[in-house]
Amino acid sequence: MKRFFESALVFACSAGILFANTPPEYTVTRVPNPPSKFETKQIDGLDFLPDGRMAVCLPSGEIFFYDTKADQWQLFAEGLHNPLGLVAVSNSELIVSQRPEVTRVRDTNGDGKADDFEVVSDGFGMSGNYHEFHFTPVRDKDGAIYFALGTGSSGDGVRSIVRGKFDPRGRPGRMHASTPFRGCVMKVTPDGKTIPWSYGHRTPNGLGFDLKGNLFVTDNQGDWVGSSKLFHVKEGRFYGHAPSLTWKEGFKGAPLETDPEVLAKMRTRACVVFPHGTMANSPTQVLAITPEANFGPFTGQLLVGEMNKSRVMRILLEEIGGELQGACVPFIGGSPMPGGCNRLGWGPDGSLYVGHTKHTWAGSEGITRIEWGGELPFEAVSMNLTKTGFRFTFTKPVDREIAANPATWPFKRYYYQYHRKYGSPQIDLTPVPVEAIEISQDGKTVELALAELKAWHIHELTVAGLKAEDGTPLANTNFVYTLNRLLENTPPDPLQFGGSASRGGGGSEPAHLAKPIPVVDPAGTVYQAEDARRDGPALQTGNSGFTGRNYADFGTGEQSIEWVVKSEKAGEGKVMIRYALAGGGRPLDLVVNGEKVETLPFSDTGGWKSWGDLTRPVMLRKGDNRIALKTIGKTGGNIDHIQIVEP
């Protein structure tokens, strides 16, 4: 055991770092697109038939089969309504999630075309809202079917005629559940009954089982979801997104009028949290690495796709205190992998097939095949919690000199607040020094003792410069462990909620924000939208011409974006705001250090891809200054960055 009482900690802020590096032992190739008669080639469902053919569904309502050996496509069915997932039952039968129902689609006469469409389940409501997506059917070993229902969006209305009961208690909020079971994972029992299985989901675009039969679902950052998450789904549990409680038996009152502390006590924590902006913004399907998959030394682990980045992540889970928790790590990503990694499936040769989509958001289209060449990559096989820190096991012996240096292991910890607001900053962001390092005799296991382990916090590590004994660099270096429970003496859940039921804002403690990373250019200092604290505006990439990784898109309602700007002296400076706007003016209030400076008349720039700027003088104090833009009307424009000329 080598012990360090003092160490220089390499503390990398997560903002702006894209941890994605496909190991060189894996190759990514494109599969020919299905011959849809429509322009789109987006893939919203993907599975393999017992005979090895691939089945895919497209937003156009078509289902195609692909013979991977003959390289031939065949149209199987068409006319479905926005299908977002399918599972193969036999060579001639599929279960499909389409907008209004779960459908059994069959070829009964053997001509290769579907001729029988049977309703398996339509036991849920529809309000006509565009965002009420119906995601990914999966089947368990007993033949039960599970599917997931998205919530409606405040960016669209509710129709005068709805399917199912309308309950006004579920209508308020940025995302809502005014008809039955929106925001729920549903189960269709083998005898055909449809029942709600779990509650509290916002946009659950991805279900999947592990090899033990545990069911998992992903969810996307937004209101009530500080950052995107992976949940272990159990019957009757509530996972945090409030509106679906409208449909939970025994729940009284209106979800958005319920004290957030009550909701925080009800919710089940995520087993994995994906840091927004660096790991995943929109996680998708969950897929277990099976023994039949020819995909390296990772059998039993989960893969999760990601829409906003060209990435498939690996999930390293363990059971602590009777609940699952663990780490996520980037695995496959970067060029030539497209974005929009939406649906995953194992081909007959053990290769991974990925279906890509975008639906007007970030992403791509088509299908990629990821093949392992047989050589061992240098990766971490596992990350396990110990009483004092973490134990890593690698595929190859590590370089002992590098691994023995505490600067190789720069940990930080933080959490995301649970509140009605859209997303959350990283709170209590703190570096955590490594105090001791132990390397196993075979060089494959490294045990790290940290200065402190804190339950109910995320512990993130970006390994710095680690190589294998043979000189191979570690392929993927970012590890994010969701530490809910310690091995012993876990304190009670602190809930980490904020705001009030009526206002949805505030917090039970002040937020300690990561400082924005300034990008210095000849004109001054630039603070990008993605480095700001946002209360409402979503990070987007759909309109070109922005300068950072994203721009901030103001939605409807009371929203704001705020930067922390450091000035070496007090005095008058200038703030230049780069923005894009179409369809007329949308004023915003400029607020500096809590005081309104003026209402800025943001005018039309000529289109969402045409960027302009607006400059105003501001009084800055020495040290930290908070510069914010706040809505005064229904909405605002797209904000790229602000630029400061110091006084």
Stronger pLDDT, 7 or 363, i.e. the higher one: 363
Q: Which domain holds residue 20?
A: 1-25+271-343+362-512
Q: Contact at 8 Å (CB) between 583 and 563? A: no
Write down how long the chain is.
647
Residue 25 tokens, joined: 């032992």
Pairing of strands 86-90, 93-98: antiparallel
- 459 with 530, same domain: the answer is no
* Residue 398 maps to a domain: yes
Regarding whether 434 and 533 lie in a shared domain, the answer is no
Q: How many domains does the chain have?
A: 3
Six token digits for residue 107: 């070829």
Q: What is each CA distance from 103 to 81, 120, 227, 234, 557, in whole angstroms?
A: 11, 5, 32, 24, 38
| Residue pair 46/343 in contact by the 8 Å Cβ criterion | yes
With vertex at residue 478, the alpha carbon angle to CA 341 and CA 395, rounded to the nearest 5 degrees, is: 95
> pLDDT tens for residues 574-591?
898 999 998 888 999 999
Average pLDDT for 529-555: 87
pLDDT digits (tens, 9 = 90+) for 208-236: 999 999 999 999 999 999 999 999 999 99
Where does residue 280 fall: left (phi above 0), alpha (psi -120 to 50 degrees), or beta otherwise?
Answer: beta
Q: Looking at the structure, do residues 310 and 266 belong to the same domain, yes or no?
A: no
Q: Does the pLDDT value for residue 416 go beyond 70?
A: yes
Examine the pLDDT at 17 and tell me if it is beyond 50: no
Distance CA 386, CA 494 (A): 22
Dist CA 449 CA 475 (whole Å): 23
- Is it true that the peptide bond before 336 is cis, omega within 30 degrees of 0? yes
Backbone angles phi, psi at 103, to 5 degrees: -125, 135
If DSSP codes are grouped into helix, strand and coil, which group holds residue 101?
strand
Pairing of strands 426-432, 434-439: unpaired
H or E element at residue 393: strand 389-394
Work out the burial of residue 130: count CB atoms within 10 Å of its CB; fewer than 13 is exposed, 13-18 middle, 19 or more buried: exposed
Residues 529 and 551 in one domain: yes
Ramachandran angles phi, psi of 482, nearest 5°: -90, 100
Backbone phi, psi, residue 232, to 5°: -85, 115
Query: Are 265 and 276 part of one and the same domain?
Result: no
Q: What is the pLDDT of residues 81-134, one digit of tens each?
A: 999 999 999 999 999 999 999 999 999 999 999 999 999 999 999 999 889 999
Do 329 and 462 fall into the same domain? yes
Which residues lie below 8 Å from residue 523, measured CB to CB, with a gap of 6+? Answer: 643, 645
Residues 426, 412: Cα–Cα separation, whole Å: 11
**Residue where one domain finishes, among candidates 464, 486, 512:** 512
151 occurs within a structural domain: yes
Enter the tokens of residue 598: 């003026």
| Nearest partner of 306 among 327, 336, 335, 337, judged by Cα | 337
**What number of other Cβ atoms are within 10 A of residue 212's Cβ?**
7
How high is the pLDDT of residue 584? 82
Q: Mean pLDDT, to the nearest integer, of 422-441?
A: 95
Let me know: does 302 contact 328? Beta carbons within 8 Å. Answer: no
CATH number of the domain at 484, please.
Answer: 2.60.40.1220
pTM: 0.77
Domain presence at residue 470:
yes
- Residue 255, φ and ψ in degrees, nearest 5: -55, -45
As a whole number of angstroms, the distance between CA 323 and CA 288 comes to 19
- Same domain? For 384 and 453 the reply is yes
The Cα 22–Cα 33 span in angstroms is 23
Give the pLDDT band of residue 499 (cuts 50, 70, 90).
Answer: low
Place of tokens 């995909």: 295
CA nearest to 356, candidates 314, 315, 312: 312
User: H/E element holding 261?
Assistant: helix 260-266
Domain boundary among 472, 493, 512: 512
Which H or E run contains 152? strand 152-153
* Structure confidence at residue 237 as a pLDDT band (50, 70, 90): very high
3-state secondary structure of 169: helix
Q: How far apart are the first and last CA of the chain?
A: 52
Which of 210, 236, 270 is where one domain is finished?
270
